[in-house]
Amino acid sequence: MNRILLIARREFMAYAKTVGFWLSLLAFPIFAVLGGALPILMQTSQPIRQVVLIEEGPAAAGLAAAVQDSFACDRERRLENRSEAQEAAAKAAGYAGGTAASEALNRIGGPRMQFVEVPSDLATTPSGEPREALARKYLGDEVPEAQQLDAVVFLTRGEDAPSARVWTRRATDDAVEDVVRAALRDAHRRDVFQTAGIDSSVVSAMEAFRPEITALSPQSASGGEVSFRDRLPGIVGLASGFLLWSLVITGASILLNSVMEEKSNKILEVLLSSASATEMMTGKVLGVAMLTGTVMLVWGGIGAFGLLTSFPQTAVDIGAVLMDGGLIFYFLAYAVGGYLMYAVLFAAIGAFCETPRDAQTLMGPIMMILVVPILVMQMALQTPDAAVVRILSWVPFFTPFLMSARAPSEPPMFEIVGTMVGMFAFTLLMIWLAGRAFRAGALSDVKLSWKSFASAMRGGS
Amino acid sequence: MTAALTLESVSKRYGDFQAVRELSFQVEKGQICGFLGPNGAGKTSTLRMILGLQAVTTGSIDILGADDGRKVRDRIGFLPEERGLYKKMTPIDAIAFFGALKGLPQAEGRKRARDLLEQQGLGASRNKKMKELSKGMAQKVQLIAAVVHRPEFVILDEPFSGLDPVNQQGLEAMIRGLAADGATVLFSTHVMQHAERLCDKVVLLARGRKAFEGTVTEARATSPRFLELEGEISSAAVAALPGVSSVDHTGGDEAGVRILKATLAPGAGGQEALKAAFLGGLDVRRFELREPSLHDAFIGLTGDHPDQDTSTKALEASQ
């Protein structure tokens, strides 16, 4: 036992002392802050575009007003959506918090632009090449900064439909173009309906119509209307499945690299003379588990803190979901089984390899296997009892991920017990086989192949 | 004396390849035993079986009273042929870590590591990372790591390989020191000179079989003594000298001076040959009676050259 702990501690310290470990520890909070702040930053840092609208010819009369109206309507619609989002945020925060989230939402909107008066020379210059040349001048640096424009829009109306030529300061900026396109489409639609004898107020009313839909299910907490709280267990299950998947990938990869490093540095043989292959593998697996566990705990702590301060009610609901029927213990059991199963396999592969290239022969197919639960887990969220999900849940390689995703939907007890027994039995078999392969690989210089790996598993030393 | 290690009819087979055949030998407590043979003779396989890292195919091994090296691993120190330590660890941490794996308390391990590094002239490097040390320094650190727990039995696989002559001398002194402290030392090598200087006993291995077991003197005695003669002499004249069983031409110059190696028949002393050469008026400018070296004995006993590669390595590795 002492040797196992010594090896585990060395494994933990070897990584905990690296810059990479601290970077990955801080990555989550940094990216969480960046992820939340970036859209707001990008939005608020957008310049307010100075746009002029010029109607060319009497036929174009009213198009400038139509563009301005359309832009104003769009803003109004965005404000409406935002207040709905604010309401949802406040609800999720238990009507007590969420101020910061609401404020953040307030800052998010559509493109920022201001319609300004047409400069007198531009208004009076006859249309055609001289006017276009003047527009180019206002979009460049030839005029004083205060007079510079971001876009000049020439609106015309042909026989069938309105059209526009949009001059912009930057060729890559298509925000004004999008606004004008939408406005002219609306104007054209109104014209067409009016020609057909349909009143524009009817058209507006139809466009504004939003059906009210109430989701109901006998399985909801109220026995009727489905709330976010009812959907939360599924989301928590899926999140747990993905979290476990990333834990397995991260932990097993660290283990693979660690064993490869020991193999290439010729340390494995001397280690094997000091500890048994089982002790070594257990120590390493435990050390890496402590490492990934530390990262997860720190991330979980930061996430829980963020959730409690921003959305306390959701945090309470998630806590309740995890404790409901001991769900968290199922997750832990699947995490232990899944991690052990893959960790020992990766460690055994590492014992045959000195470089990542050596490991590719076996890692390719294993990574392909690991993609399957990612695809099926998403299906498990909506239809946890689909035949393919239920069948694949019995495959030990997939059990930890799929059953984690399915657990909140309360699958039949025989499936829970059966898959868990199967998973742990298979995990024990993997530990035994991987232990033999590990010892054989550590003392061997043979190139890794399926044949050599299978032979090592069969023969041990 | 009591045996620290006994091998009885030990064989190791990898698939169709027989790496070790019916090997039996004994090492007494406190002895320095050289395990000699060319590369690929089966030395590493045997050492791994002694340590319990590989299972014997047939036969039995008794080490420090146990039938499996793994049962007494804390009482054994091992330096493998392919050496390495954690590159980012400091010597003192590495030594303490490997000592701790053998049951030595960490604090005691660090104290001993400091003392041993100081003794080996590595005191100034004790807190450097292993990757910053030279190969010779790293090898010394690894040897210290192998013996820091003061093992009763020390197994060293090709300990001299890769070392310069100065470090080889230092290592020889270290091995003598281990034996002086009461440890039994078994080391493998294909360089006979180290064994000649160090060993109380040698076991010669060729193509997986034991070719000889005994002291260095006994090993040498299995090979005939020979004369080295230099002068304007013919092979036929030397062959006719009393006690000479065969003659080999080993060198010479354009002026007709030749160097001849005359192997003596068992029991022949060389005095009669010297006397006959003078009486016969042979133009002998140099006459030397040479004792056979362990190298000569090895060739005589096995027919192999100790530096050649009778490689079983690839086969060993492939299993």
In whole angstroms, what separates CA A296 from the centre of its chain?
17
Predicted local distance difference test score (pLDDT) of residue B61:
95
Q: What is the DSSP letter of B74?
A: G
Predicted confidence band of residue B314 (pLDDT cuts 50, 70, 90): very low
User: A366: distance to nearest CA of chain B, Å?
Assistant: 24
Q: Are strands A49-55 and A162-168 parallel, antiparallel or unpaired?
A: unpaired
The dihedrals phi and psi of B34, each to the nearest 5 degrees, come to: -95, 130
Does residue B317 belong to any structural domain of this protein? no
Give the 3-state secondary structure of residue B123.
Answer: helix
- Chain B residues close to A273, C-beta within 8 Å: 51, 53, 73, 76, 78, 80
User: Per DSSP, what are the bridge partners of residue A148?
Assistant: none
Domain that holds residue B260: 224-291
Specify whether the CB–CB gap between B195 and B294 falls below 8 A: yes
User: A106: distance to nearest CA of chain B, Å?
Assistant: 51
- Chain B residues close to A460, C-beta within 8 Å: 55
- Rounded Cα–Cα distance for residues A210 and A80 (Å): 12
Predicted local distance difference test score (pLDDT) of residue B318:
41
Q: What is the DSSP letter of B102?
A: T
User: B166: distance to nearest CA of chain A, Å?
Assistant: 24
Residues B156 and B54 in one domain: yes
Place of tokens 């180019």: A136
Amino acid residing at A6: L
CB contact under 8 A, A443 and B142: no
Predicted local distance difference test score (pLDDT) of residue B313:
46
Mean pLDDT of B236-243: 87
Predicted local distance difference test score (pLDDT) of residue A206:
79
Predicted local distance difference test score (pLDDT) of residue B315:
44
Query: Which of A261, A268, A273 best tests the B interface by mutation, with the highest count of B CBs <10 A?
Result: A273
- Tell me the C-alpha to C-alpha distance, in Å, between residue B159 and each of A285, A325, B35, B126, B189: 32, 61, 12, 21, 7
- Token pair of A396, please? 């030990």
In this predicted structure, the answer to whether residue B146 has a pLDDT above a threshold of 60 is: yes
Place of tokens 């027919």: B303
- Rounded Cα–Cα distance for residues B309 and B149 (Å): 34
Residues B40 and B73 in one domain: yes
Mean pLDDT of B157-181: 87
The dihedrals phi and psi of B64, each to the nearest 5 degrees, come to: 50, 35
CB contact under 8 A, B48 and A443: yes
What count of other Cβ atoms lies within 10 Å of the Cβ of residue B279? 8
Does residue B212 belong to any structural domain of this protein? yes
Predicted local distance difference test score (pLDDT) of residue B305:
63
**Residues belonging to chain B:** 319
- Chain B residues close to A452, C-beta within 8 Å: 318
Residues B247 and B176 in one domain: no
Per-residue pLDDT for chain A (461 aa), expressed as one digit of tens each?
Answer: 588 999 999 999 988 888 888 887 887 778 777 776 777 677 666 778 889 999 888 888 888 888 888 888 888 877 777 666 666 655 555 444 445 555 555 545 667 788 988 888 888 888 888 888 888 888 888 888 888 889 999 999 887 789 999 999 888 888 889 989 988 998 888 888 888 888 877 877 877 777 888 878 787 777 777 777 778 888 888 888 888 898 888 888 888 888 888 888 778 888 888 888 888 888 999 999 998 888 888 888 888 888 888 888 888 888 888 888 778 888 889 999 999 999 988 888 888 887 777 777 778 888 888 889 888 888 877 787 888 889 999 999 999 999 888 888 788 889 989 999 999 999 999 888 888 888 777 777 666 666 767 776 666 44
Query: Which of A1, A270, A449, A455 best tests the B interface by mutation, with the highest count of B CBs <10 A?
Result: A270
Query: Which of A258, A267, A274, A282 best tests the B interface by mutation, with the highest count of B CBs <10 A?
Result: A274
CA closest to B47 among chain A residues: A273
Predicted local distance difference test score (pLDDT) of residue A316:
86
Share of chain B above pLDDT 70, in %: 94
- Chain B residues close to A14, C-beta within 8 Å: 86, 88
- Rounded Cα–Cα distance for residues A86 and A106 (Å): 8
Residues B216 and B251 in one domain: no
B interface with A, Cβ–Cβ below 8 Å: 48, 51, 53-55, 70, 73, 76, 78-80, 82-88, 97-98, 100-103, 142, 145-146, 317-319
Does residue B319 belong to any structural domain of this protein? no
Specify whether the CB–CB gap between A177 and A166 falls below 8 A: yes
Does residue B310 belong to any structural domain of this protein? no
CB contact under 8 A, B101 and A266: no
CB contact under 8 A, A461 and B54: yes
User: A291: distance to nearest CA of chain B, Å?
Assistant: 18
Which of A222-231, B151-160, B288-297 reaches the highest mean pLDDT? B151-160
* Three-state helix/strand/coil letters over B153-217: EEEEECCCCCCCHHHHHHHHHHHHHHHHCCCEEEEEECCHHHHHHHCCEEEEEECCEEEEEECHH
The 10s digit of each residue's pLDDT in A120-164 is: 888 888 888 888 888 888 888 888 888 888 999 999 988 778 999
Residues B278 and B199 in one domain: no
CB contact under 8 A, A265 and B54: no
Does residue B318 belong to any structural domain of this protein? no
Predicted local distance difference test score (pLDDT) of residue B306:
62
Amino acid residing at A165: R
* Three-state helix/strand/coil letters over chain A: CHHHHHHHHHHHHHHHCCHHHHHHHHHHHHHHHHHHHHHHHHHHCCCCEEEEEEECCHHHCCHHHHHHHHHHHHHHHHHHHHHHHHHHHHHHCCCCCCHHHHHHHHHCCCCCEEECCCCHHHHHCCCCHHHHHHHHHHHCCCCCHHHCCCEEEEEEECCCCEEEEEEECCCCCCHHHHHHHHHHHHHHHHHHHHHCCCCHHHHHHHHHCCCCCCCECCCCCCCCECCHHHHHHHHHHHHHHHHHHHHHHHHHHHHHHHHHHHHHCCCHHHHHCCCCHHHHHHHHHHHHHHHHHHHHHHHHHHHHHHHHHHCHHHHHHHHHHHHHHHHHHHHHHHHHHHHHHHHHHHHHHHCCCCCHHHHHHHHHHHHHHHHHHHHHHHHHHHCCCCHHHHHHHCCCCCHHHHHHHHHHHCCCHHHHHHHHHHHHHHHHHHHHHHHHHHHHHHCCCCCCCHHHHHHHHHHCC
Domain-terminating residue out of B204, B220, B236:
B220
Predicted local distance difference test score (pLDDT) of residue B114:
94
CATH number at residue B215: 3.40.50.300
CB contact under 8 A, B78 and A270: yes
N-terminal to C-terminal alpha carbon distance within chain A: 23
CA closest to B73 among chain A residues: A274
Domain count, chain B: 2
Domain-terminating residue out of B172, B188, B220:
B220
A interface with B, Cβ–Cβ below 8 Å: 2-3, 6-7, 10, 14, 17, 262, 265-267, 269-276, 439-440, 443-446, 452, 459-461
Share of chain B above pLDDT 90, in %: 32
User: B224: distance to nearest CA of chain A, Å?
Assistant: 41
CB contact under 8 A, A461 and B51: no
Predicted local distance difference test score (pLDDT) of residue A419:
93
pTM surpassing 0.80? Answer: no
Predicted local distance difference test score (pLDDT) of residue A60:
83
Residues B199 and B252 in one domain: no
Kindly provide the ipTM of the predicted complex, given to two decimals. Answer: 0.77
Predicted local distance difference test score (pLDDT) of residue A109:
60
Q: What is the DSSP letter of B133?
A: S
Does residue B155 belong to any structural domain of this protein? yes
Residues B189 and B271 in one domain: no
What count of other Cβ atoms lies within 10 Å of the Cβ of residue A421? 10
- Chain A residues close to B102, C-beta within 8 Å: 274
Mean pLDDT, rounded, of chain B? 86
Residues B46 and B136 in one domain: yes
The answer for residues whose C-beta is within 8 angstroms of residue A20's C-beta and 6 or more apart is none
Mean pLDDT of B95-104: 93
- Chain B residues close to A19, C-beta within 8 Å: none
Residues B153 and B232 in one domain: no
Residues B230 and B150 in one domain: no
Give the 3-state secondary structure of residue B291.
Answer: coil
- Rounded Cα–Cα distance for residues A27 and A32 (Å): 8
Place of tokens 């079989």: B209
In this predicted structure, the answer to whether residue B221 has a pLDDT above a threshold of 80 is: yes
Q: What angle (nearest 5°) sits at the alpha carbon of residue A283, between those of residues A281 and A285?
A: 65
- Token pair of A269, please? 């043989």
Give the residue among B79, B69, B10, B311 at the shortest CA–CA distance from B190.
B311
Residues B253 and B139 in one domain: no
The answer for residues whose C-beta is within 8 angstroms of residue A16's C-beta and 6 or more apart is A291, A294
Residues B205 and B252 in one domain: no
- Chain B residues close to A266, C-beta within 8 Å: 80, 82-84
The dihedrals phi and psi of B249, each to the nearest 5 degrees, come to: -85, 120
CB contact under 8 A, B55 and A14: no
